[in-house]
Amino acid sequence: MKVGISYWGGMTANDVVGCTKLAERRGFHSAWMAEGHGGDAFAILTACALSTKRIRLGTSIVSIFVRSAPTIALGAATVDSISKGRFILGLGTSHQAQVEPEHGLVFEKPIGRMRETLEVVRGLLHSSKISHRGKIFPQIDFDYWFEPLRKRIPMYVAAVFPKMIEFGGKFADGTITVWHTVSRARESAEILRSSAKKSGRKASEVELAALIPTCVSEDSEAAIEGMKRLVAFYCGFFPRYNRLMSESGFAKEAEMIRAAWVDGRKEESYDMVTEKMTRTLGIAGEPEECPKRLEEYRKAGVGTPIMFPTSTVGKKRGKDSVKEVCIDAIKAAS
């Protein structure tokens, strides 16, 4: 079974490299880096590429709003060359709650922007230059001053709801979901396959990858407490994930958590997350939970389940860092 590990913050670049080397030794399919507050994804994956030989390296994800399309293409081609063809480009729209206040940019027409970004990146990889005229990008004339290693790099799009999953089936090589329950993953896999077929593609041409929140520890209680904080953050801060969790069977909890965040009661929101939520929305508990839960996602149609760990909140022996939880998860899954 293909298994991936994703990093999103709380670790140094050297920590990420160390964990990726361990994941490669343990037979992992891929290691992924999210871009947000955890470091520059392309730079960190370059460091991983120089320290490994086989494991695939992907972005999960880079935002199409905070980088220009040619800049994304440059980064992708560079990491792909240094890794000798092991790179996967994961693209996402990010969130209005991040794009506008954190970067001072306008968040609008995300699907149109995603489509044109894919066109520009693919065009540059294929021909080393592009003259693009579109609705989102009225004019882009750009060329590489080097020859890309590959003329086609796998490109996945981040997707939460059916509309973007359908988009992935039409235009991308796969989709990357996050915070999907097993049942939701099953629905997404069917939507992706159906969309690909309607577009004249084979279902086998697209893959469903799933980022699975993970918090494991020999101290099961500490792992569950850590996951509760992660659930509360995503549910309280991001409207998109609040809606997703509400639709996944936790409408009452999602409403309470969101209200708490609006009122500035973040600490209280952690106790509003039930243990059922932590176990349904990700992998939480002792390391033995990993293989079983990964298999459930695989059976639901997920081609590459990708764990993304968070730190524990220990009451017995203190807090396990993200690095420690990553190491435990890698060992448990392999």
Residue ranges covered by each domain of the chain: 29-155, 159-334
Measure Cα distances from 102 to 37, 94, 95, 111 in Å. Answer: 10, 11, 10, 21
pLDDT of 14-44, one tens digit each? Answer: 999 999 999 999 999 999 999 888 899 999 9
Q: Give the contacts of 328 (CB within 8 A, at least 6 positions apart).
A: 216, 217, 287, 320
CA distance 196 to 173: 10
Q: Which residues of the chain have pLDDT under 50?
A: 317
Measure Cα distances from 280 to 182, 212, 214 in Å. Answer: 8, 10, 11
Q: What is the 3-state secondary structure (H, E, C) of 20-67?
A: HHHHHHCCCCEEEECCCCCCCHHHHHHHHHHHCCCCEEEECCEECCCC
Q: Is-contact 225 325, C-beta < 8 A?
A: no
> Is domain 159-334 in CATH 3.20.20.30, yes or no?
yes
pLDDT of 61-110, one tens digit each? Answer: 999 999 999 999 999 999 999 999 999 999 999 988 889 888 998 999 99
Q: What is the pLDDT of residue 95?
A: 87
Q: Give the contacts of 208 (CB within 8 A, at least 6 positions apart).
A: 174, 175, 177, 185, 188, 189, 192, 301, 302, 303, 304
How would you class 159 by CB atoms within 10 Å of its CB: exposed for 0-12, middle for 13-18, buried for 19 or more? buried
Q: What is the pLDDT of residue 316?
A: 52
Q: What is the pLDDT of residue 250?
A: 98
**Superfamily, domain 29-155:** Luciferase-like domain (3.20.20.30)
Which phi-psi region, left, alpha or beta, contains residue 256 (left: φ > 0; alpha: ψ -120 to 50)? alpha
